[in-house]
Amino acid sequence: MPVTIRMAFRNLVEHKAKSLIVGILLALGVLILVLGNSFLDASKRGIEASFTANYTADVIITGKANGPVSLFGVQSIGGLEETPIVPDYEKVFAYAAGLPGVSSITGSASSFGLITKDQERLEDMEEEGDEEMMNSFVMLFGVDSQNYWSVFPGLDIIQGERIKAGEPGIMLAEDRLERISKRLKRTLSVGDEILIQGMGATGIRLRSVPIVGTFRQKSEGAGPEQLSYIDINTLRVLAGMTVGAGENIELSSSETELLALDDLDSLFTDDFFSIEESETSAVLDFDLSAILGDTSARERLNEADTGAWHSILLRLDGVQSPRVVAAKLNAYFAAEGIAAEAGDWQKAAGPYAQSVDVLRIVFTIAVIILAVVAVIIIMNTLVVSVIERTGEIGTMRALGAGKGFVRAMFAAETTVLSLSFGIVGIILSFITVAILNAIGIEASNQFFEILFGGKVLNIIIAPLSVLASLAIIVAVGLAAHFYPVAVALRIQPVRAMQSE
């Protein structure tokens, strides 16, 4: 063992009280860093696992819009931008399905709906509050029944069955069914029809669909609470993804006259009051039953656009990285000139991933502040402890010890101190984590569910975070002793000896 290390050990034992105080601070510093890191890791891992398993799969492909496009639509400033359709769906689907590492693939589309009452029960509605209105809100995931369930096999069916290909139907979460039953004032069960009001690009649509099954909501943390699954064609109609979404209408000039005016006050001239008189007859002289004329085009325009999908979701085999697959897809879209984009689960989770990120950033900042405070205290204590030993340094120098030797001796002392108490801190972290996991702290609200990455806090300490924390604490120790040692070495040995 080199002499500096031996002296370091001897000095640490010699100054027991001082070593213990600094050591405890170092151990606490490591504890905070390891726990904080592990906590953040647990949160991220929990949310990611929940989302990829239940909603987003590993990679998503969407069309492009002005804002980021996720499974839940477009996030745009100042309102609701229509969710873009995946262009060249068949081609993109075929290419994505053929990529190495893709184990299953499905199309999906989403929209919002309102479970609404039928006419006979209207009188009940007037008394209800906002909360009851919210209960009838559903986030609709339009699923391609042929392959959606192979991408998301883990759905926990409680009653009934999954939506079958080509058949209309909706699957509701168990608790949502209860709430909707309460609102509609009738007990709903599998087989019953419910009326859904969709609010899509073309306006309001009503569709009655049978409840084919109920499932247990698996949204750990920040999952979409109102999620329901619906057959894709009903969703398309409700969301306005129909054949006739864009039609041309001829307008007369009087119908757009005011829109073209820049100065509306110019309307109000002196002859404004020369008013035309309308004709009035005793009864309306047109055929009231025929005001619509030909309605045959309407049926065609309201047919679901069977090629319209909002996203394609890919499940990977666990070997390929989602980022690599997404990058390959994006390169393909760029080369082919397809206005689509691919991303990982965070893109797919959109606003949910962002709210998690915001919380994580807030928490990270809190941990950093705590760590900085701990480091300052450690540094301060180290500075004081080195300055107190100015006399000792002077004596050593008077006895012929070089500046380099003194520096090396203090460096060794600090390293030994940081490492040994760092390890104590790590052991404490493992004990704390074991205790916390054994207690099984439950998230009392959604905020904590997001922080915990699930309903119960489950922390696993990552080896990397242990090593990083140890390295940080050693670096802090070395940085903290460097300045006072340099100051002490500048003093003449004789002076330094006198300061004792």
Partner 1 sequence: MKRFTIIALLALVAAGAAFAQDVNKILKDLDELGDFDNQDFSAVYTIVSQKPGEKDSVSSVQLFRRDKKKQFTMIVLLPEVNKGQGYLREADNVWFYDPTSRKFSFSSIKENIQDSEARNSDLTLRGFAVDYESSGVREGTIGSIPVWIIDLKAKTNDVSYERLVLHVAKRQTMLLKEEAYSVSGRLMRTTVYGKPVKLGDKQLPSQIIIMDELNPGERSQLTMTQQSLSAIPDRVFTKAYLEQVSK
Site for partner 1 in 56-85 (CB under 8 A): 78-79
CB of 313 to partner 1, least distance (A): 29
Return the residues of window 124-163 that contact partner 1 according to CB under 8 A: 125
Residue 281 as a binder of partner 1 (CB under 8 A): the answer is: yes
Query: Is residue 256 a contact point for partner 1 (CB under 8 A)?
Result: yes
3-state secondary structure of 170: strand
Q: How far is CA 422 from CA 23, 33, 304, 416, 496, in A?
A: 8, 11, 64, 10, 32
- 257 in contact with partner 1 (CB under 8 A): yes
Q: Nearest distance from residue 160's CB to partner 1, in Å? A: 23
Residues 285-324 that bind partner 1 (CB under 8 A): 285, 288-289, 291-292, 295, 297-299, 301-302
Beta bridge partners of 199: 204
Compute the half-sphere exposure of residue 281: CA atoms within 13 Å on the CB side of its CA. Answer: 4
Alpha helices in 388-444 (DSSP H): 390-398, 403-439
Residue in the block written with tokens 């009188």: 123
Nearer to partner 1 among residue 206 and residue 424 (C-beta)? 206
Query: Cβ 214 to partner 1, closest distance in Å?
Result: 23
Binder of partner 1 out of 98, 154, 273, 337 (CB under 8 A): 273
Rounded Cα–Cα distance for residues 398 and 66 (Å): 74
Nearer to partner 1, 1 or 77 (CB): 77
Among 3, 134, 158, 267, binds partner 1 (CB under 8 A): 267
Complete DSSP assignment for 219-264: --SS--TTEEEEEHHHHHHHTT-BTTSS------GGGTTGGG-S-G
Q: Rule CB under 8 A: choose which of 129, 154, 203, 404 binds partner 1.
A: 203
Q: Are 426 and 466 in contact (CB under 8 A)?
A: yes
Residue 83 has φ and ψ, to the nearest 5°, of -70, 130
Q: Taking the complex as a whole, how short is the minimal distance between the CB of residue 168 and partner 1, in angstroms?
A: 11
- The residue within the footprint of partner 1, chosen from 154, 266, 435, 438 (CB under 8 A), is 266
The sign of the dihedral angle between the CA atoms of 486, 379, 367, 415 is positive
Does position 255 interact with partner 1 (CB under 8 A)? The reply is: yes
Q: Alpha carbon 429 to chain centroid distance? A: 28
Q: Which is nearer to partner 1, 65 or 401 (CB)?
A: 65
Among 96, 212, 230, 237, binds partner 1 (CB under 8 A): 237
**202 touches partner 1 by CB under 8 A:** yes
Distances (CA, A) of 141 to 56, 107, 307: 11, 10, 16
For residue 456, what is the DSSP state? Answer: B
- Token pair recorded at residue 349: 């989770």
Q: Distance between CA atoms of 217 and 225, rounded to whole angstroms?
A: 8
122 is a site residue for partner 1 (CB under 8 A): yes
Site string for partner 1, 158-197 (x = CB under 8 A): -------------------------------------x-x
Q: How far is the CB of 43 from partner 1 (least distance, A)?
A: 37
What CA–CA distances, in Å, run from 118 to 138, 175, 213, 251? 17, 22, 21, 36
- Which lies closer to partner 1 via its Cβ, residue 127 or residue 299? 299
Residue 7 CA to residue 4 CA, distance in Å, equals 5
439 vs 38: CA distance, rounded Å: 17
**Contact call for residue 118 and partner 1 (CB under 8 A):** yes
Q: At closest approach, how far in Å is the CB of 114 from partner 1? A: 8
Quick check: 242 binds partner 1 (CB under 8 A)?
Answer: yes
Number of chain positions touching partner 1 (CB under 8 A): 62
User: What residues line the site for partner 1 (CB under 8 A)?
Assistant: 78-79, 116-119, 122, 125, 195, 197, 202-208, 237, 242, 244-247, 249, 251, 254-259, 261, 264-270, 272-273, 275-285, 288-289, 291-292, 295, 297-299, 301-302
